[in-house]
Structure 1
Amino acid sequence: MTLGKNHTPLPQSGKPVLATRHAASLALMVVLAGCAAGPDFERPAPPVSETYSSHADNALVTPAPSAVDSAQRVVPGMPVAAEWWRTFGSPRLDALIADGLQHSPTLAAAQATLRQAQELQQARAGSTQLPQAEIGASAQRQRFNPGALGQDQDPREFSLYNAGVTVSYNLDPAGSNRRAIEALSARADTQGFELQAARLTLAGNIATAAFARAQIAAQIESTTALLANIEEQRDIARARLRLGNAAADEVLALDTQTEQLRAGLPVLRQQLAETEHLLATLAGRAPGQGGVPDFALSEFTLPQDLPLVVPSQLVRQRPDILAAEAMVHAANADYGVAVAQMYPQLNLSATLGTQALTGDALFGGQSIVWNIIGQLTQPLFNSGLPHEKRAALAGFDAATAHYKEAVLKALRDVANVLVAVDTDAHALAAQSSAAAAAQGSLKTMQRRYQLGAASHVEVLIAAQQAERAQLAVIAARADRLANSAAFYVAMGGGPVPAEVTE
Structure 2
Amino acid sequence: MRLNQGYRAAWGLATLLGLSACAVGPDFHPPQAPKNAGYTPEAPVSPVSTANTIAGAAQRFDPGRDLPGEWWTLFRSPALDALVKRALAANPDLAAAQASLRQARENLYAGQGAFFPTASASFQPSRQKISGAAFGQPNESATLSLVTAQLSVSYAPDVWGGTRRQVESLGAQVDYQRFELEATYLTLTSNIVVAAINEASLRGQIAATQDIIKADTDQLNVVRQQFVVGGASRADELQQEATLAQSRATLPPLQKQLAQQRDQLIALLGGFPNESLAARFALTDLHLPEDLPVSLPSQLVAQRPDIRAAEAQFHTASANLGVAIANQLPQFAITGSIGSEALGFSNLFSAGTGIWTIAGSVTQTLFDAGTLQHKKRAAAAALEAAAAQYRSTVIRAFQNVADALRALQSDADLVHEQADAERSASDSYALARTQFRTGAISYLTLLNADRTWQQARLNLVQAQALRFSDTAALFQALGGGWWHRADVAPAAHGPDRLVVPVVSAFQP
**Per the shorter chain, which TM-score range?**
0.7 to 0.9
Matching of residue 61 in structure 1 with residue 46 in structure 2: yes
Letter in 2 for 1:162: T
Alpha-carbon deviation of 1:497?
A: 5.0
Which has the larger displacement, 185-194 or 417-426?
Answer: 417-426
Matching of residue 73 in structure 1 with residue 60 in structure 2: yes
Tell me how large the CA RMSD over aligned residues is.
2.9
Alpha-carbon deviation of 1:365?
A: 3.7
Alpha-carbon deviation of 1:141?
A: 4.3
Matches for 1:378-397 after TM superposition, within 5 Å: 378-382=364-368, 383-397=370-384
Matched-pair contact (CA < 8 Å) for 1:439–1:466:
yes
- SS of residue paired to 2:288: coil
Q: 2:71: which partner in 1? A: 84
Matching of residue 405 in structure 1 with residue 392 in structure 2: yes
Q: Given the superposition, is the C-alpha separation of residues 176 and 143 from structure 1 closer, same or farther in structure 2, using an over 3 Å criterion?
A: farther
- SS of residue paired to 1:348: strand
- SS of residue paired to 1:183: helix
Letter in 2 for 1:66: A
Matched-pair contact (CA < 8 Å) for 1:230–1:464:
no
Matches for 1:186-201 after TM superposition, within 5 Å: 186-201=172-187
Q: Given the superposition, is the C-alpha separation of residues 150 and 387 from structure 1 closer, same or farther in structure 2, using an over 3 Å criterion?
A: farther
Matching of residue 322 in structure 1 with residue 308 in structure 2: yes
Query: Could you list the per-position Cα deviations for residues 141-190 of structure 1 after superposition, in whole angstroms to 9, with x for gaps in the alignment?
Result: 45656765778884655432211211222211111111111101101110
Query: Could you list the per-position Cα deviations for residues 73-105 of structure 1 after superposition, in whole angstroms to 9, with x for gaps in the alignment?
Result: 222101111111111111111111111111100
- SS of residue paired to 1:347: strand
Q: 2:38: which partner in 1? A: 51
Matching of residue 267 in structure 1 with residue 258 in structure 2: no
Alpha-carbon deviation of 1:264?
A: 1.2
Greater length-normalized contact order (CA 8 Å, ≥ 6 residues apart): 2
- Partners of 1:164 and 1:401 lie apart in 2 by 53
- Partners of 2:351 and 2:376 lie apart in 1 by 52
**Identity rate, percent:** 37
Matching of residue 306 in structure 1 with residue 299 in structure 2: no
Letter in 1 for 2:298: S
Matched-pair contact (CA < 8 Å) for 1:59–1:76:
no
Aligned partner (choices 368, 374, 395) of residue 360 of structure 2: 374
Which has the larger displacement, 386-395 or 207-216?
Answer: 386-395
Which has the larger displacement, 239-248 or 351-360?
Answer: 239-248
Q: 2:171: which partner in 1? A: 185
TM norm structure 2? 0.86
Alpha-carbon deviation of 1:492?
A: 1.0
Letter in 1 for 2:70: E
Letter in 2 for 1:358: G
Q: Given the superposition, is the C-alpha separation of residues 497 and 78 from structure 1 closer, same or farther in structure 2, using an over 3 Å criterion?
A: closer
Query: Could you list the per-position Cα deviations for residues 12-61 of structure 1 after superposition, in whole angstroms to 9, with x for gaps in the alignment?
Result: xxxxxxxxxx9xx979955873411111112223222332234xx44431
Matched-pair contact (CA < 8 Å) for 1:80–1:307:
yes
Alpha-carbon deviation of 1:447?
A: 8.6
Matched-pair contact (CA < 8 Å) for 1:215–1:475:
yes
Q: 2:469: which partner in 1? A: 482
- SS of residue paired to 2:303: coil
Matched-pair contact (CA < 8 Å) for 2:18–2:158:
no
- Partners of 1:248 and 1:460 lie apart in 2 by 15
Which has the larger displacement, 34-43 or 326-335?
Answer: 34-43
Q: Given the superposition, is the C-alpha separation of residues 101 and 230 from structure 1 closer, same or farther in structure 2, using an over 3 Å criterion?
A: same
Matched-pair contact (CA < 8 Å) for 2:341–2:348:
yes
Q: Where does structure 2 lack aligned partners over 5 or more consecutive residues? A: 1-8, 490-508
Letter in 2 for 1:336: G
Matches for 1:14-29 after TM superposition, within 5 Å: none
- SS of residue paired to 2:101: helix
Aligned partner (choices 470, 477, 488) of residue 501 of structure 1: 488
Alpha-carbon deviation of 1:462?
A: 6.2
Matched-pair contact (CA < 8 Å) for 2:17–2:158:
no
Aligned partner (choices 305, 322, 331) of residue 317 of structure 2: 331
Matches for 1:118-197 after TM superposition, within 5 Å: 118-126=105-113, 128-142=114-128, 154=140, 158-197=144-183
Matched-pair contact (CA < 8 Å) for 1:209–1:275:
yes
Alpha-carbon deviation of 1:367?
A: 1.7
Matched-pair contact (CA < 8 Å) for 2:38–2:398:
no
Aligned length: 475
Q: Given the superposition, is the C-alpha separation of residues 269 and 437 from structure 1 closer, same or farther in structure 2, using an over 3 Å criterion?
A: same
- Partners of 1:453 and 1:244 lie apart in 2 by 10
Q: 2:502: which partner in 1? A: none
Aligned partner (choices 87, 104, 107) of residue 91 of structure 2: 104
